[in-house]
Structure 1
Amino acid sequence: MATEPGMPHWRDPAGDIGQLTDVADRVQRSVAAVIDGKPEAIRTALVVLLSEGHLLIEDVPGVGKTMLAKALARSIDARVRRIQFTPDLLPGDVTGVSIYNQATRDFEFRPGPVFANIVVGDEINRAEPKAQSALLECMEEHQVTVDGMTYRLEAPFMVIATQNPVEMEGTRPLPEAQRDRFTARISMGYPSPAAEFAMLDSHGNADPLDDVVPVTSAAEIVKMSALVRSVHVSDEVRQYIVELVGATRRHPQIALGASPRAALHLIRASRAAAALDRRAFVLPDDVQTLLVPVLAHRLLLHPELTLAGEPVTDLAARLLSDVIARTPIPRPGPAARPPRRGH
């Protein structure tokens, strides 16, 4: 169901949807010049950015996880910091520390790398849990508390973390609370033969990141995110999201279903996806498309499901497809679109 009968592409009275898509197109072209043949991964990254969320990129080494994160960060004229997660990383290395200043005879706070607009966390699942947990408050509340003092993080704030599959040496699973704070999880996958051939030509002699220049600003991203928040979600679509999320909690093969935070992330991401499609209202299609990237990494499956050797991410995606198939799609109604002005 691409559109609902009789429903035009409404123009959002709170802002210019066309301007948002123009900005998104510029960013997408900029990133696509570095990452060949991965339009869906790039689009999901944009959805997460505009929905004010955080992105987890999981895949085997060497398929462009960090390259995607860096290309997106460099396409925005904003403060960008990178954290290399290692087993000896300390929480203070992430958030910052208070250091005694002998000249003033007082402690002064020295901000860590999270004090940026876009934080690239490379190989996040190679660090100890205490270092991983340093991001919990940052990602949820956009603030840092050190020695009893709270410091606000500047908007926009987005964490783009990469991780290798947990089966690989030196990795450890992210805690459930950490995974639940990532709006979406994507996998890069291997490139097609044509894209890999082109990569050997374009990446063989120079680093394509050197040619990436900012195509938008942090202030413009903040403005576009505010516009996304005004995208209309009907009561029917809200109820559809509640039923989908609730179905994961009742599914016999899922030990721990999606949280209320997951439902919030799903509705925010659906708004962003609708805006990227030049719509000021959310369709059930938007929700269905985002269900796997937004919910799959949060689910805890029963252990016996993994005995067959199928990857957990594939299992979760298959179970969510079953949830979609079993949940009735809401019928289009007058509440599915925003009211006209004057009504």
Structure 2
Amino acid sequence: MDFSKKIINWYEKNKRKLPWRETKNPYYILVSEFMLQQTRVSQIIKYYLNFIKKFPSLEKLAQAEEKDVLKEWEGLGYYSRAKNLHFFAKKLKNDKKFFPKKYKELIKYKGIGPYTGAAVASICFKEIIPAIDGNAFRVFSRYFGIYNDITSTATKNMFRVIVSKIMDFEQPGIFNQAIMDLGSILCTPKNTKCLLCPIKDSCFSIQNKTVYKLPVKKINKFIRHRFFYYLFICDRNNNICINKRSSKDIWKGLYDFPLIESKNNLLINEIIDTVWEKFRIIVYKTLIYKIEHKLTHQILSIRFFNCEILQDLNKNIFFQKFFFIPHNQIGVYPFPRPIILFLKHKKMI
């Protein structure tokens, strides 16, 4: 029995039951694939179900405001995925185009890379093209004994050529999903279950005892450390001061509080002086909440402080880009996860 048949037979008996596998609707598959980018399956199931309930079609998504799309994505992270998905829907609507059926058409859209494009094209439209994600790189590098750095473009192209020759031509989507599950269930980074693997008899790494040496991946160890000092400000009517993040930085399009950022950890007196210089308001010395938030290449040390208003903020030129919302509207706006945790701490959501 050839490679692809063994993989597919194993998959039919052991596949994970996932909600997006119950449909061939390309929009639903695309939503799941966007969410799966850099996020574990267990984390996205609830988000996926809520998202397609809120936006059951590309048309509904295209008609939605960005704020509402980001609200449904709130807490999932990597918000550029939501914005790219939203843009895709609006672009198709504005150009009066149907959902692209070919890999080469799909990858023209921002956010749809080689893996996502191949997954959608193969699963929904049976295009014979390998979907190579992290699981696939691990499975094939171990199976074939490939020591090339999987982060390099040349290696990625080599994998696509190799896999395209052994994948199932009649069921390319099933083949791609089978590889995903094999890598997720058996051929894991640690604690592999090699004895249960359907292709163990012909696996290079099992035969040569190199399972945990592959794949080879060059790791960028640079981690940026940032210090955020958020100012929790309420006006005389107890409305909360917020701001929409618009710069090309993390959380663009989400909302947060007035912010002081520093490259170094500031002492309380330095925070007070900086806040006064930037906003002309007084910060209380009491720290009301703190959190360490880790991103892919960043660590954020975040502190929250109460502030006192000395004048009408409508007349304060430092607050022209901010606005105030009532407490009962706080749940309408999409916030980064650290802000959500702070609001939960304050029992405001």
TM-score, scaled relative to structure 2: 0.20
Bigger RCO (CA 8 Å, 6+ sep): 1
TM-score, scaled relative to structure 1: 0.20
